[in-house]
Amino acid sequence: MKVPSMVLMSVILIFTTSLFVFKTSADDGILIAHGDHFEMTCKNDGFVDVSHTIVVTANKTWNVTINPNYSFEGILVGNVTYEADPEIYEPIEIQTSSKEGVSTINVSFKATLKPLKFTKLKLKYTVGDLLRQDENGTWHFSHIFNSFSGNPPEILLKIPKPPTQFHRLVIGDTLPAPDVFIEESHFYVLVWKSSLFTFGNVSTTLINVSYRTELNTESVGLWLVLILIGGVVTELSRRIWKKWLAPKLQDKSSE
Q: What is the dihedral of CA 26, 195, 82, 84, to 10 degrees?
A: -50
Q: How far apart are CA 32 and CA 146, in angstroms?
A: 20
∠ CA(44), CA(103), CA(152), 5° rounding?
A: 85
Rounded to whole angstroms, what are the CA distances from 64 to 17, 28, 30, 50, 181?
20, 14, 11, 26, 37
Average pLDDT, the chain: 77
Min mean pLDDT across 51-60, 142-151, 180-189, 240-249 is at 240-249
Tell me what the mean pLDDT of segment 20-31 comes to.
Answer: 50
Find the distance separating the first CA and the last CA of the chain, reported in whole Å: 71
Q: How far apart are CA 77 and CA 48, in angstroms?
A: 10
Q: How far apart are CA 130 and CA 16, in angstroms?
A: 26
| Residue 27 pLDDT | 43
Give residue-wise pLDDT tens across range 68-100. Answer: 888 888 899 999 999 999 999 999 999 999 888
Give residue-wise pLDDT tens across range 129-150. Answer: 889 999 888 999 988 776 665 5
Tell me what the mean pLDDT of segment 115-123 comes to.
Answer: 91
Q: What is the dihedral of CA 1, 159, 167, 186, to 10 degrees?
A: 130
Q: What is the pTM of this model?
A: 0.72
| Residue 28 pLDDT | 61
Going by pLDDT thresholds of 50, 70 and 90, the confidence category of residue 163 is confident
Q: How far apart are CA 189 and CA 116, in angstroms?
A: 29
